[in-house]
């Protein structure tokens, strides 16, 4: 391998901590549970883990409402537990990335508790208050403004009322976040995933957003003019503290906006939800999105098909309730196309979506707020429930299925979310012991990517599509890889005439449905 950044060769694994593994027997995933599964992660072959927020929090939005940036919520363990996880991961060759939310804090954060209803607070200007709120709406529905009881002012929140936005016009806010970064770097973390980073309010409260066809267009509340300079300073500061992988979640589906935030001076990668978030499988659209991203982004794209905010890929892309063959084919695409792959916990098992049937079975704050908003708009309870389920992010958040033991080996007591009913058939222990399982394919393909330079750092041409077969080439100075993945009916093998070693699959004249083929030729062979 060349001297490329360490993260370029990584397959990253997202851990939604409350649902990963319960180590202390309270029904909630935690750091002792994660520590017990480091060997599992090492065996799977991942090079880095991304851990969702674990800081002290009221858990209105499952930890994305932080009340203390520099501590561990007791529900997840102790600071010593976190350091032990980092040390154990590093000893196993696994880097640790943490989720950092700097757009907003919890209303329970000491800064806001002091500023609340108190114009004289030293922290008042850490937040955004207005006596005459504009029309900006929350991304969770409804107004983005909440009134204080005594001052006649309102505070601003892009998400739930319990998640109050920081005022990034105030240099003291920026310095506070630098101190947070210093703290976690001192704990050994290797990177940061910055949540909704293009939402930072760097230019204050502007004019009303325009309304198109009854829907608000978020023109002035996100992607504000001063944000690039702010992030340039932030990224420079992080890099001065040592090598770190910087990931940006960008709340946009426009490629030109995504591209603004990725450069050697800004974020290393940006999350592009266009690639993997489609509700049903459409290979033509998928190819178009990947090709457009490859063409328009200056750096490496991110490649993911599930996350804690999205329904699981196997529940959206399959031709049945548990289409393992389609899942393997999508995985092959994810690990061979130019980019940085992110695997969400449970994908390697083929875990399917959690499906609530009543409002009481919805855990996500976004779904709950949409339910209440729908009722306020005059919808029936049944109609409001449809809205709530459609906007809830619970689908992918159910506990990890470790074994066929009671409660799937996740916990010794009832878990915070229900365990999937199919845990006896779909669990990690069973799949690790079964040749040809989906888990085994994940392990094999992750290892293949890690060991093959052209798949980590090779130039990548555009994807070509013949019927439902996708084919492309990756190359370095020392080797060339030809990849073909057929998602539909039999097609002629586009690489049949290429004289090269078969790296994966079978080099047959015809490629069948969900068949994968990789061929490889090293530099010495190309010179003959």
Q: How confident is the model at residue 527 (pLDDT cuts 50, 70, 90)?
A: very low
Distance CA 132, CA 146 (A): 11
CATH number of 460-526: 2.60.40
- Asked if 10-105+171-353+422-449 and 460-526 have one fold, the answer is no
Place of tokens 């674990």: 54
Instruction: Find the range with the poorest average confidence among 24-28, 220-224, 275-279.
Output: 275-279
Among residues 195, 221, 353, 457, the one annotated as catalytic is 195
Convert the pLDDT of each residue in 191-206 to its tens digit: 999 999 999 999 999 9
Q: What is the mean pLDDT of residues 247-272?
A: 93
Pairing status of strand 340-344 against strand 12-15: parallel
Distance CA 214, CA 116 (A): 33
Q: How confident is the model at residue 525 (pLDDT cuts 50, 70, 90)?
A: very low
Q: Is 249 a catalytic residue?
A: yes
DSSP state of 246: E
Q: Does residue 80 have a pLDDT over 80?
A: yes
Instruction: Calculate the CA dihedral of residues 285, 286, 289, 291 and round it to 10 degrees.
Output: -110
The per-residue pLDDT for 524 is 61
What the block records as the tokens of 266 is: 């800004």
What the block records as the tokens of 217 is: 């267009």
Distance CA 97, CA 90 (A): 12
Give the residue, 525 or 283, on which the prediction is more confident: 283
251 near 196, Cβ under 8 Å?
yes
CB proximity list for 397: less than 8 A, separation 6 or greater: 16, 18, 19, 62, 308, 354, 363, 364, 417
Q: What is the mean pLDDT of residues 154-174?
A: 97
Q: Which fold has domain 10-105+171-353+422-449?
A: TIM Barrel (3.20.20)
Which DSSP helix (H) or strand (E) runs through 471? strand 469-475
Phi (first) and psi of residue 38, to 5 degrees? -60, -40
Q: Does residue 526 have a pLDDT over 70?
A: no
341 near 334, Cβ under 8 Å?
yes
Q: Does residue 159 have a pLDDT over 90?
A: yes
Residue ranges per domain, the chain? 10-105+171-353+422-449, 460-526
Distance CA 124, CA 143 (A): 21
Among residues 249, 289, 353, 457, the one annotated as catalytic is 249
CB proximity list for 132: less than 8 A, separation 6 or greater: none
Q: How confident is the model at residue 364 (pLDDT cuts 50, 70, 90)?
A: confident
The per-residue pLDDT for 24 is 95
Convert the pLDDT of each residue in 434-490 to its tens digit: 999 999 999 999 999 999 999 999 988 899 999 999 999 999 999 999 999 999 999
Q: Does residue 306 have a pLDDT over 80?
A: yes
Tell me what the pLDDT averaged over the chain comes to: 94
What the block records as the tokens of 515 is: 């068949």
Pairing status of strand 48-51 against strand 12-15: parallel
The per-residue pLDDT for 214 is 87
What the block records as the tokens of 87 is: 């040390």
- % of the chain beyond a pLDDT of 90: 86
SS3 at position 112: helix
**Distance (Å) of CA 435 to CA 241, 321, 432, 438, 443:** 45, 22, 8, 9, 12
In sequence order, the β-bridge partners of residue 12 are: 48, 342
The per-residue pLDDT for 49 is 98
Q: Is 229 a catalytic residue?
A: no
Q: Does residue 528 have a pLDDT over 80?
A: no
What the block records as the tokens of 229 is: 């300079």
The per-residue pLDDT for 2 is 59
Convert the pLDDT of each residue in 128-149 to its tens digit: 999 999 999 999 889 999 999 9
Please report how the helices 227-240 and 171-186 are oriented relative to each other, as an axis angle in degrees rounded to 10.
Answer: 30
Q: Does residue 272 have a pLDDT over 90?
A: no
> Closest by alpha carbon to 106, among 127, 120, 134?
127
Convert the pLDDT of each residue in 379-431 to its tens digit: 999 999 889 888 898 999 999 999 999 999 999 999 999 999 999 999 999 99
Distance CA 67, CA 76 (A): 15
SS3 at position 71: coil
Distance CA 290, CA 301 (A): 9
Convert the pLDDT of each residue in 14-65 to its tens digit: 999 999 999 999 999 999 999 999 999 999 999 999 999 999 999 999 899 9
Q: Does residue 516 have a pLDDT over 80?
A: yes
Distance CA 466, CA 325 (A): 20
485 near 469, Cβ under 8 Å?
yes
Distance CA 45, CA 457 (A): 18
């Amino acid at each position: 391998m060349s001297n490329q950044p360490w993260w370029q060769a990584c397959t990253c694994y997202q851990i939604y901590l409350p649902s990963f593994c319960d180590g202390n027997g309270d029904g909630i995933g935690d750091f002792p549970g994660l520590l017990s599964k480091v060997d599992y992660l090492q065996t799977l072959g991942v090079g880095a883990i991304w851990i969702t927020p674990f800081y002290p929090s009221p858990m209105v939005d499952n930890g994305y409402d932080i009340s203390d940036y520099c501590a561990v919520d007791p529900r997840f363990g102790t600071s010593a537990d976190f350091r032990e996880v980092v040390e154990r991961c590093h000893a196993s060759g696994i880097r640790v990335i943490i989720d950092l939310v700097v757009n907003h804090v919890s209303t329970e954060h000491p800064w806001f508790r002091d500023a609340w209803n108190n114009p004289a607070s030293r922290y008042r200007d850490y937040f955004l208050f207005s006596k005459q709120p504009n029309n900006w709406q929350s991304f969770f529905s409804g107004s983005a403004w909440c009134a204080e009881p005594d001052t006649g002012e309102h505070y601003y929140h892009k998400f739930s009322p319990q998640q109050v936005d920081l005022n990034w016009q105030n240099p003291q806010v920026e310095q506070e976040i630098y101190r947070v970064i210093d703290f976690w770097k001192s704990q050994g973390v290797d990177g940061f995933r910055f949540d909704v980073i293009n939402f930072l309010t760097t230019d204050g409260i502007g004019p009303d957003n325009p309304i198109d066809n009854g829907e608000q267009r978020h023109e002035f509340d996100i992607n504000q003019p001063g944000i690039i300079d702010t992030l340039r300073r932030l990224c420079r500061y992080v890099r001065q503290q040592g090598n770190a992988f910087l990931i940006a979640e960008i709340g946009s589906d426009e490629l030109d906006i995504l591209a603004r935030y990725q450069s050697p001076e800004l974020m290393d990668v940006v999350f592009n939800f266009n690639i993997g978030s489609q509700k049903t499988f459409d290979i033509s659209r998928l190819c178009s999105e990947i090709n457009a991203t490859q063409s328009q982004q200056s750096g490496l794209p991110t490649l993911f098909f599930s996350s804690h905010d999205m329904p699981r890929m196997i529940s959206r892309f399959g031709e049945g309730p548990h289409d393992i063959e389609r899942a393997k084919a999508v995985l092959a695409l994810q690990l061979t196309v130019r980019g940085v792959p992110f695997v969400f916990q449970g994908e390697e098992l083929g875990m399917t979506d959690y499906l609530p049937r009543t409002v009481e079975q919805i855990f996500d704050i976004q779904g709950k707020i949409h339910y209440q908003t729908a009722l306020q708009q005059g919808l029936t309870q049944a109609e409001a429930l449809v809205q709530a389920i459609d906007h809830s992010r619970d689908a992918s958040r159910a506990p990890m299925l470790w074994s066929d033991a009671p409660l799937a080996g996740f916990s010794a007591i009832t878990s915070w979310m229900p365990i999937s009913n199919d845990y006896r058939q779909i669990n990690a222990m069973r799949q690790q012991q079964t040749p040809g399982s989906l888990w085994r394919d994940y392990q094999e393909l992750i290892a293949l990517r890690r060991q093959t330079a052209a798949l980590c750092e090779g130039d990548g041409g555009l994807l070509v599509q013949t019927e439902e077969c996708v084919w492309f080439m990756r190359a370095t100075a020392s080797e060339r890889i030809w990849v073909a993945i057929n998602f539909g009916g039999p097609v002629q093998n586009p690489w049949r005439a290429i004289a090269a070693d078969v790296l994966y699959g079978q080099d047959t004249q015809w490629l069948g449905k969900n068949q994968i083929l990789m061929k490889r030729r090293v530099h010495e062979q190309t010179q003959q």
